[in-house]
A and B are shown apart, each in its own frame.
Chain A
Amino acid sequence: MGENIAKNFDPKQTLNEIEDKFQMFQILNEDGVIVNEEANPNLSDEELVELMTRMVYTRILDQRSISLNRQGRLGFYAPTAGQEASQLASHYALEKEDWILPGYRDVPQIVWHGLPLWKAFLFSRGHFVGNQMPEGLNVLPPQIIIGAQYVQAAGVALGLKKRGAKNVAITYTGDGGSSQGDFYEGINFAGAFKAPAIFIVQNNQFAISTPREVQTSAKTIAQKGIAAGIASVLVDGMDPLAVYVATKDARDRAINGEGPSLIETMCYRYGPHTMSGDDPTRYRTSDIDNEWAAKDPIVRFRKYLEGKGLWSEQKETEVIELAKEEIKAAIKQADETPKQKVTDLISNMYEELPRNLEEQFKIYVEKESR
């Protein structure tokens, strides 16, 4: 009897068949060579240069942010080096009116969407002005509760669908975040409502010290999309062209009413988890660091663009200098922002202050006038 059952019913085989289908999507290899010409997005020269410019700029932003953090001139900071393709090429596929629901490591995306750099620095320091979004900028402040951005993205996407907008909600989490309940609820809700959402999992191999293998026995995180019945893909997250194409494709399908997508970008963070005392040498070997250093998205994209005569050392130096200048100016502007007062914090709680806060407001106005 057991044999008969096994003939018609082999759950393990089903799993293996499904997992085998999730092959890594890549366009540009580590040497900067196009290995999948068919999928090449054929971005214009200007677009290619713009994407490279943003990636280089963001690498510098990371280096400067780490240094400013060490000097005590920035507060909370989650390093981004290594994830430029994953973060910026996915963002590059978006339109201005699209909504971004970032995680705590996803500051670069909202900066390139339009958040002034000095405000991003105020977010790091812990000042409410950093989270005051300019009028019409469809981004939320970086989300600290891992997974919360996913359920909220389903809601934003449903709202866009109801409004008849040809726009999407995009959100990001990490490999560890894919273990959260809200991760699953978010993709499942968006799927059930056929809402225009793009869910990106930046699988940077570690959730603080916990390697990705400890999160799940699933071979890929992309395959988790199957549980929600949504389109899913595993992408080389160190390849800007592949990330761009996967996101653009997900966006096109979303605005055509075909529902959400889950994109796993296989990438790496070269730095620590955050600058709040994490020491990656406790859990990462130099072997794995070296392995991923060889896959650096900037190195491979540089090679590709140099091959096309679109990039040079001089051009890169110009971008680096510009970044350093703008970062300096942004820090200065952050420094010049007036200090927060308790009355500011009270004023931002409700449209109309309830009685208890009205009373406390008066007490603090008096204290602040002393």
Chain B
Amino acid sequence: MAQMTMIQAITDALRCELKDDENVLIFGEDVGVNGGVFRATEGLQKEFGVERVFDTPLAESGIGGLAIGLSLTGYRPVPEIQFFGFVFEVMDSISGQLARYRYRTGNTFNMPVTIRSPFGGGVHTPEMHSDSLEGLMAQQPGLKVVIPSTPYDAKGLLISSIRDNDPVIFLEHLKLYRSVREEVPEESYTIPLGKADVKREGTDLSIFAYGLMVHESLKAAEELEKEGYSVEVVDLRTVQPLDIETIIASVEKTNRAIVVQEAQKQAGIAANVVAEITERAILSLEAPVLRVAAPDTIYPFPQAENIWLPNYKDILETAKKVLTF
């Protein structure tokens, strides 16, 4: 075991997979000698060579096409999109192509691709760096969408994503890269995709969250405990497909729920969680399932992040509405 930040855990997962499978290739803008703009691929080119870890021209769509073509020749590509706001340049390669290959060829060809990409607010990035666009990906059949919130989860989930024989979008929250440290095993381990994790057990209210909002939810849960409420915090970890069993079991225990996301209310995946709960557990509910989400505007100018991004106070407010409904 070693104390690791999330970014270190990610690098460690990449190193494990480069070592274990000679078909794993890492490529993108500045991921080679530079080690990535956030040092996620630090040292990997030096250790595994330029044939395994390499830079590309600055063109996201081309990177997507490269991943598809390399898959067709038997490789296991792990491309990087420098910031997920740039996904619009590569939407066709991802949603129009990668996601559909197994289906469109009737199982003849598959795409064992893991697209890594940072996103998320709170660090005053320029335009189109921090937008939460996981909702777009979650709507595309053929993809899986994974969003870790801790170093331990990041390593296990990334190894699982890379080993998955279908495309996975692996989104890394910028604010979590270095803000959390925890014990992470040095050897390889996996965490199943599509499995949520109860980060805190409780009996009065379920909070479903992912990404940075997991930590804000845990903070809110602590505050609520001081007021005598027992709050369960469930980290979805995979936002598509959802872990329905864990979600429903939690709601059936607590009878009250909120869903917390950083994305705008009209985006993200919270509406999907609410719909699943109402379809499957409405008779367990003592109150409507409410959402905490950002306003339906474009992602804020950096100086407005603190008034715009959802935080634990918003969660507290919504939690109380549901608890006192």
Contact = CB atoms under 8 A, between A and B. Distances in A.
Nearest to B103: A348
A59 B57 CA distance: 41
B242 interface: yes
B75 A162 contact: yes
Interface string A80-101: 0000000000000000000100
Interface in A147-191: 148, 150-160, 162-163, 169, 181-182, 185-186, 188-189
A6 interface: no
A67 interface: no
A150 B105 contact: no
Nearest to B60: A185
B104 A158 contact: no
Given A148-B93, A348-B103, A159 B70 contact: yes
A354 interface: yes
Interface in A68-123: 99
A88 B73 CA distance: 25
Given A350-B102, A351-B110, A354-B194, A151 B244 contact: no
A186 B65 contact: yes
A169 B72 CA distance: 11
A355 B242 contact: yes
**A interface, over-half SS:** helix
Contact of A99 (B72, B92, B105, B241): B72
Given A145-B97, A163-B73, A188-B59, A155 B106 contact: no
A207 interface: no
A163 B69 CA distance: 13
B104 A155 contact: no
Contacts of A128: 103-104, 106
Interface stretch (A11-19, A129-137, A243-251, A306-314): A129-137
A345 interface: yes
B51 interface: yes
A25 B141 CA distance: 46
A162 B70 CA distance: 9
A141 interface: yes
Contacts of B104: 128, 131, 141
Contacts, number: 135
A131 B245 CA distance: 36
Interface in A235-292: none
A349 interface: yes
Of listed A151, A153, A157, A347, residue having the most chain B CB within 10 A: A151
A320 interface: no
Given A133-B105, A141-B104, A155 B110 contact: no
A155 B69 contact: yes
B67 interface: yes
Nearest to A182: B61
A145 B64 CA distance: 14
Nearest to B62: A185
A128 B104 CA distance: 7
A49 interface: no
Given A155-B72, A185-B65, A131 B57 contact: no
A158 B51 contact: no
Nearest to B142: A349
Interface residues on B, range: 35 or more
B106 A129 contact: yes
Interface string B184-224: 00000000001000000000000000000000000000000
A151 B72 CA distance: 13
Interface in A349-370: 349-351, 354-357
A131 B105 contact: yes
A140 interface: yes
A192 interface: yes
A350 B65 CA distance: 20
A189 B72 contact: no
Q: Identify the interface centre among B59, B106, B194: most chain A CB within 10 Å of its CB.
A: B106
A131 B107 CA distance: 9
A153 B105 CA distance: 17
B65 A354 contact: no
Contacts of B242: 355-356
B62 A188 contact: yes
Contacts of A160: 73
Interface string B41-68: 0000000000100001101011011111
B92 A145 contact: yes
Max chain A CB contacts within 10 Å: which of B65, B107, B109?
B65
B75 A159 contact: yes
A140 B105 contact: yes
Contact of B96 (A148, A154, A189, A354): A148
A349 B141 CA distance: 8
B155 interface: no
B108 A132 contact: yes
Contacts of A186: 62, 65
A154 B241 CA distance: 32
Contact of B72 (A145, A159, A350): A159
Contacts of B108: 131-133
A160 B141 CA distance: 29
Which 4 A-B pairs rank lowest in CB-CB distance, beginning with the nearest?
A: A155-B69, A151-B65, A159-B73, A354-B241
25 contacts: A131-B105, A132-B106, A133-B105, A140-B105, A148-B93, A151-B61, A151-B68, A151-B93, A152-B72, A153-B69, A154-B69, A155-B65, A156-B73, A159-B69, A159-B75, A162-B70, A163-B73, A189-B59, A192-B56, A347-B107, A349-B142, A351-B164, A355-B241, A355-B244, A356-B241
